[in-house]
Structure 1
Amino acid sequence: MPDQPPYLAASDLLRQRISDGEWSPGDRLPSRARLGEEYEVGENVIRRAQELLIAQGLLEGRAGSGTYVAEPRAKVRMVRSRSREVRGGSPFRGDMAGLGKAGSWEHHSEAKVPAPADIAARLGIDEGALTVHTTYEFLADGKPVQLSSSWEPYDLTGGTIVVLPEGGPHGGRGVVERMAVIGVAVSHAVEQPEPRQATAEEATLLGAQTGALVTHIRRTYFCADGRPAETADIVIPAAHCEIVYEIPIE
């Protein structure tokens, strides 16, 4: 095999066999033992090669059954732009509607959660100050495409009708629209994307392999006076989604 780490060389050979049509979508691959004998490597090398291709969306593992060539799946385009924040309603649902998909989500909120040190720094509040913490699993046509963990300062929304992001008459309408209800003008957001591997929990929720590539976006909304109104950690699977930034030219 080529002069590179054995698992990368094995993954290249497996990828080529799929590309050449030797295995078609839905086909079950030979056992790791058999492939290891064929390539003269150990089963752990084949396992790492297959995990890499699973993370890239070319293969899929089925518990108790084996490893299969994945069915082609068109990537969901996730557009990050100013327009998605000002059109009204849920930005995510609007994004999915534009792609002809049904956008939905599952959520869980807790009020008066003490802010961890890193979240407190992002919100400009003291460590341990109260927040509203909401976790989300976003779905496109019922399939998971995004996770989010959101934090809002409790002293900003506490006692108002928008204290819970998914509760009350304005639930689920997005940070910008909800804050406007209580007279808080959100002027801009800052997003910091970076690639990394999915944790075991994230992989389970996204239906991916542990260690699959994801894009982790740290997003913070800011009020017109510069105060952070919300910060979130957004996780998007790289194999099934592509992220596009639309930049307005004034």
Structure 2
Amino acid sequence: MSGEAEFRRIAADIRRRIQAGEWAPGQALPSRAAMGSEYHVHEQTIRLAYDLLRRSALLDGQRRRGVYVAHPPAMRTLTDVDAKWPYDSETTDTRPHAATDELAGRLDVPVGILLQHETVECLEPGGRSAMLVTSWWRRRRRPHTSVTAELGVVPLTEEQAHALGLLVDSLAYRVMRTRLDPHGAPVETADLILPLDRWTIRLS
């Protein structure tokens, strides 16, 4: 098994053990050396597993001072898919994309036509990623007067998981938001990716 696959496997097992109650919130985990002996790996592999779990907010603490199980984060509730994010955000990708079959259908444009695009990482006040918003539109952004939304659940891609500090294939809500002009024609569409462990959805 590759080194990367090994530390991810160990991280998944530690996550399972925490969820089973082996360590409670606020309780310190064993040292990297002790866990390395238990899993029969170098302690550097445990460091990578701990770092991954720290990025996902399951663990807290300083790298050289030990880690402990983090207290559960506050849950947010999404009620307005078009609301402005109230905290900091970072635009992480603005490369144009050719319209896939799905995007062409959502925007009512020909398949393959070049679309403008951006991915925005919405951050909590403490700096942790809360959700990802990826938007597509044609030519320039235009005003909208109404919004439609469709809710589903999807596994995270590797890129999404890395941004959100979660394991690949973790499940997340996917809200497909489409903005419409006064005539009901789509002017922009977006995927809002919200981790299941950080959000509840209440759309009216």
Task: Give the structure-1-normalised TM-score.
Answer: 0.56
The match for 2:8 is none
In structure 2, distance between residues paired with 1:233 and 1:121: 14
Report percent identity of matched pairs.
23
Q: Is the alpha carbon distance of 1:14 and 1:115 closer, same or farther for their aligned partners in structure 2, counting shifts above 3 Å? A: closer
Per the TM alignment, residue 211 of structure 1 is displaced from its structure 2 partner at its CA by 2.6
Partner Cα distance (1:186, 1:14) in 2: 44
Aligned partner of residue 73 in structure 1, secondary structure: coil
- For structure 1, the 5+ residue unaligned runs are 1-6, 37-49, 86-90, 97-102, 158-162, 164-177, 180-184
Question: Aligned-pair distance for 1:198?
Answer: 1.6
Kindly tell me: are residues 35 and 115 of structure 1, through their superposed partners in 2, closer, same or farther at Cα, counting changes over 3 Å?
closer
Larger radius of gyration: 1
Aligned alpha-carbon RMSD (Å): 3.7
Matched, 1:231 2:189: yes
Whether 1:190 and 2:148 are equivalent positions in the alignment is yes
- List per-residue Cα deviations over 1:154-190 (Å, max 9, x = no partner): 2xx3xxxxx4xxxxxxxxxxxxxx60xxxxx523x22
| Residue-pair matches, total | 175
Cα deviation per residue 1:212-243 (whole Å; 9 max; x = unaligned)?
22111111122232211111111111112222
Q: Go from structure 1 to structure 2 and tell me whether the alpha carbon gap of 1:143 and 1:59 turns closer, same or farther (over 3 Å shift).
A: closer
- By how many angstroms is 1:146 displaced? 0.9
Structure-2-length-normalised TM-score: 0.67
Aligned to 1:210, the other structure's residue is in SS state coil
Residue 130 of structure 2 is aligned to residue 127 of structure 1:
no
1:215 to 173, 177, 185: 173
| Amino acid in structure 1 at the alignment position of 2:175 | I
Offset from partner CA, 1:53-93 (integer Å, 9 cap, x none): x6xx784499x989852233212232226xxx5xxxxx333
